């Protein structure tokens, strides 16, 4: 069997859901189980209702409920017009929104909402999208059966970021989902949502539908997991910045993780770890371009010296110089303890004989960190820098890749260079305003047409 997951934009409106139906229809012989996100933007809109209610703004909250209600009813009408199911599903949708309105009223009266309430509110998005999609699929002769995902995804009580209980999920998936597939039907369920052992609705955290798909795939030992989204897959560079960014057809899981940490927003690799760990390939496809190649993420894709170029701005470098102390035992421990105590996470580290430099992604509130560090040595801070990364699992095996990377940067000033021991990522810290130039030059060096011909 395979898991086919559609993100919010891939079920955003009737047209998108029609495309999704086509995609699933073409895969019926592979026994698909379908996981869907809420209609694109619905989760944000629902959470905004929660925020309004928590502030005691009843009118605003109810207005929000009505806007989301009418969107769902419009899509229901567009999808199911004239069918037998139309009235029943529309009634179900309305009943759900009546329930949501009561919930909003209760919270507005309290003027307070707990994470548990937010999960209850957010869950409506996936509950409704999955019902709608299942009903429409049946209209298109897909033998779809709606399953309440909460009957499968057992979690702990950590509301808004609940931890899935892997063994129980595997058991429920075998009990609830497997038989449907074996009878030749297509289970359709919402991602993102779950339930505690004692029956309280939870969510797996924002973007959690990928996680649901991966957990389901792992539980049922799927042959493949397909994540359908609105981009062609992972690219060799940010197409808004570099010319000729190319699709990466196969990428290693660790490379994908590195790219994600640079804001390559396709998906968060951690969410697919449960499946990738079992050797299940995860594909990213574009639902607007169903014939595309997509990107395949696996543990064992070929190791290339360079798979992609990434970058991000807004980086701050903190440098601690302590000529006498650097070789004293425990110096770095002391430095990192101070970071930990101040709740500041370190990204890239480079040491020299007399100093240690660290980059910080989020430099808000680092003043107390700097005061603490100054007890260890001279502290200096440079803001508005950027990181460019050359990501490739075999970059440290290549005798030329590193030299070419540094050479390609030409006259750009380099503040720090770091290559991790795993050798998957060469990171170079440059001036913030040189970020785009650096990405273009690096991408040109490794992925230009001339380079393609050379290979
Ligand atoms: N609908 C949820 C969100 O927007 C989960 C998801 O789409 O993955 O975060
Ligand atoms: Mg998503």
Assess contact for 36 and 42: CB atoms under 8 A: no
Assess contact for 97 and 76: CB atoms under 8 A: no
- What is the structure's pLDDT at 276? 86
Ligand 1 pocket, Cβ-based, cut-off 6 angstroms: 7-8, 37-38, 43, 125, 191-192, 206-210
Residues 68 and 158 in one domain: yes
Residue 375, C-beta contacts closer than 8 angstroms, at least 6 positions apart: none
Atom of ligand 1 nearest to the CA of 125: 1
The torsion angles phi and psi of 113, rounded to 5 degrees, stand at -135, 135
What whole-number distance in Å separates Cα of residue 397 and Cα of residue 308? 16
- Specify if 292 maps to a domain: no
Residues 319 and 203 in one domain: no
Residues 52 and 192 in one domain: yes
Assess contact for 33 and 145: CB atoms under 8 A: no
14-25 and 58-80 helices cross at what angle (nearest 10)? 50
Atom of ligand 1 nearest to the CA of 7: 7
Residues 214 and 331 in one domain: no
- Specify if 288 maps to a domain: no
Residue that is last in its domain, among 187, 207, 230: 230
Residue that is last in its domain, among 230, 252, 267: 230
- Specify if 123 maps to a domain: yes
Residues 220 and 104 in one domain: yes
Whole-number Å distance, alpha carbon 192 to ligand 2 midpoint, is 9
- For CA atoms 289, 291, 294, 299, the dihedral sign is positive
Residues 205 and 327 in one domain: no
Average pLDDT over residues 333-340: 93
* Ligand 1 mutation pick, 125, 207, 211, max ligand atoms within 8 A of CB: 207
Whole-number Å distance, alpha carbon 268 to ligand 2 midpoint, is 9
Whole-number Å distance, alpha carbon 364 to ligand 2 midpoint, is 28
CATH number, residue 346: 3.30.2130.10
Assess contact for 37 and 209: CB atoms under 8 A: yes
**Two structure tokens written together for 153:** 């995804």
Residue 65, C-beta contacts closer than 8 angstroms, at least 6 positions apart: 49, 97, 100, 101, 104
Average pLDDT over residues 325-349: 86
Residues 82 and 186 in one domain: yes
What whole-number distance in Å separates Cα of residue 448 and Cα of residue 455? 11
Whole-number Å distance, alpha carbon 129 to ligand 2 midpoint, is 13
Residue 263: pLDDT over 80:
no
Assess contact for 282 and 372: CB atoms under 8 A: no
- Specify if 166 maps to a domain: yes
Residues 192 and 326 in one domain: no
- Specify if 289 maps to a domain: no
**Which domain covers residue 331, as residue numbers?**
308-454
- What is the structure's pLDDT at 383? 94
Average pLDDT over residues 249-268: 84
- Specify if 442 maps to a domain: yes
- What is the structure's pLDDT at 450? 63
What whole-number distance in Å separates Cα of residue 23 and Cα of residue 153? 25
Residue that is last in its domain, among 186, 205, 230: 230
Q: How many domains does the chain have?
A: 2
What whole-number distance in Å separates Cα of residue 246 and Cα of residue 229? 17
Residues 327 and 223 in one domain: no
What whole-number distance in Å separates Cα of residue 388 and Cα of residue 317? 14
Atom of ligand 1 nearest to the CA of 38: 1
DSSP secondary structure, 316-382, as one string: EEEEEE-TTTTTSTTHHHHHHHHHHHTT--EEEEEE-SSEEEEEES--TT-HHHHHHHTTTSEEEEE
Whole-number Å distance, alpha carbon 57 to ligand 1 midpoint, is 25
Residues 208 and 352 in one domain: no
Q: Measuring from atom 5 of ligand 1, which residue has the nearest CA?
A: 207
Residue 77, C-beta contacts closer than 8 angstroms, at least 6 positions apart: 86, 90
14-25 and 115-139 helices cross at what angle (nearest 10)? 60
CATH number, residue 61: 3.40.1160.10
Beta bridge partners of residue 352, listed in sequence order: none
* Ligand 1 mutation pick, 127, 209, 210, max ligand atoms within 8 A of CB: 209
- What is the structure's pLDDT at 28? 98
- Specify if 332 maps to a domain: yes
Q: Measuring from atom 6 of ligand 1, which residue has the nearest CA?
A: 207
Whole-number Å distance, alpha carbon 43 to ligand 1 midpoint, is 6
Residue 213: pLDDT over 90:
yes
Task: Identify the nearest ligand to the CA of 42 by its number.
Answer: 1
Task: Identify the nearest ligand to the CA of 210 by its number.
Answer: 1
- What is the structure's pLDDT at 419? 84
Average pLDDT over residues 228-238: 93
- Specify if 32 maps to a domain: yes
Whole-number Å distance, alpha carbon 394 to ligand 2 midpoint, is 30
Residues 221 and 328 in one domain: no
Average pLDDT over residues 347-374: 88
Average pLDDT in the chain: 93
Using DSSP bridges, classify how beta strands 378-391 and 308-321 pair: parallel, antiparallel or unpaired: antiparallel
Average pLDDT over residues 414-428: 85
Task: Kindly indicate the confidence band of residue 441, based on its pLDDT and cuts at 50, 70 and 90.
Answer: very high
């Amino acid at each position: 069997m395979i898991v086919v997951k559609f993100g919010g934009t891939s079920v955003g409106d009737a047209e998108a859901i029609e495309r999704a139906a086509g995609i699933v229809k073409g895969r019926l012989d592979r026994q698909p189980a379908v996981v869907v996100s809420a209609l694109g933007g619905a989760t944000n809109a629902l959470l905004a209702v929660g925020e309004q209610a928590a502030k005691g703004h009843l009118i605003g909250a109810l207005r929000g409920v009505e806007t989301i209600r009418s969107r769902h009813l419009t899509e229901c009408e567009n999808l199911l017009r004239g069918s037998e199911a139309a009235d029943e599903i529309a009634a179900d949708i309305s009943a759900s929104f009546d329930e949501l309105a009561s919930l909003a009223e209760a919270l507005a009266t309290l003027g307070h909402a707990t994470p548990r309430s937010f999960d209850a509110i957010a869950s409506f998005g996936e509950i409704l999208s999955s019902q709608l999609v299942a009903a429409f699929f049946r209209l298109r002769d897909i033998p779809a059966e709606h399953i309440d995902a909460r009957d499968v995804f057992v979690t702990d009580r950590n509301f808004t970021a609940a931890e899935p209980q892997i063994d129980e999920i595997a058991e429920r998936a075998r009990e609830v989902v497997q038989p449907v597939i074996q009878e030749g039907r297509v289970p359709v369920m919402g991602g993102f949502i779950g339930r505690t052992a004692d029956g309280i609705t939870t969510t797996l955290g924002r973007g959690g539908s990928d996680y649901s798909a991966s957990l389901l795939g792992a539980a049922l030992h799927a042959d493949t997991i397909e994540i359908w989204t609105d981009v062609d897959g992972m690219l060799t560079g940010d197409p808004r910045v570099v010319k000729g960014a190319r699709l990466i057809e196969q990428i290693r899981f660790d490379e994908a993780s590195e790219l994600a940490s640079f804001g390559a927003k396709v998906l968060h690799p951690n969410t697919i770890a449960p499946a990738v760990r079992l050797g299940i390939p995860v594909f990213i496809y574009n639902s607007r371009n169903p014939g595309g190649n997509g990107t395949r993420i696996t543990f064992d894709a070929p190791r290339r010296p360079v798979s992609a170029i990434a970058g991000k701005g807004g980086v701050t470098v903190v440098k601690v110089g302590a000529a006498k102390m650097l070789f004293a035992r425990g110096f770095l421990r002391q430095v990192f303890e101070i970071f930990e105590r101040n709740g500041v996470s370190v990204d890239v580290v480079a040491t020299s004989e007399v100093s240690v430099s660290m980059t910080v992604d989020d430099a808000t509130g680092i003043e107390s960190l700097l005061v603490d560090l100054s007890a260890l040595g001279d502290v200096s801070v440079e803001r508005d820098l950027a990181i460019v990364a050359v990501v490739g699992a075999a970059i440290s095996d290549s005798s030329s890749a590193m030299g070419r990377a540094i050479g390609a940067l030409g006259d750009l000033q380099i503040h720090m260079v770091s290559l991790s021991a795993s050798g998957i990522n060469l990171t170079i810290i440059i001036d913030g305003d040189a970020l785009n130039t650096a990405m273009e030059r690096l991408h040109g060096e490794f992925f230009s047409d001339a380079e393609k011909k050379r290979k």
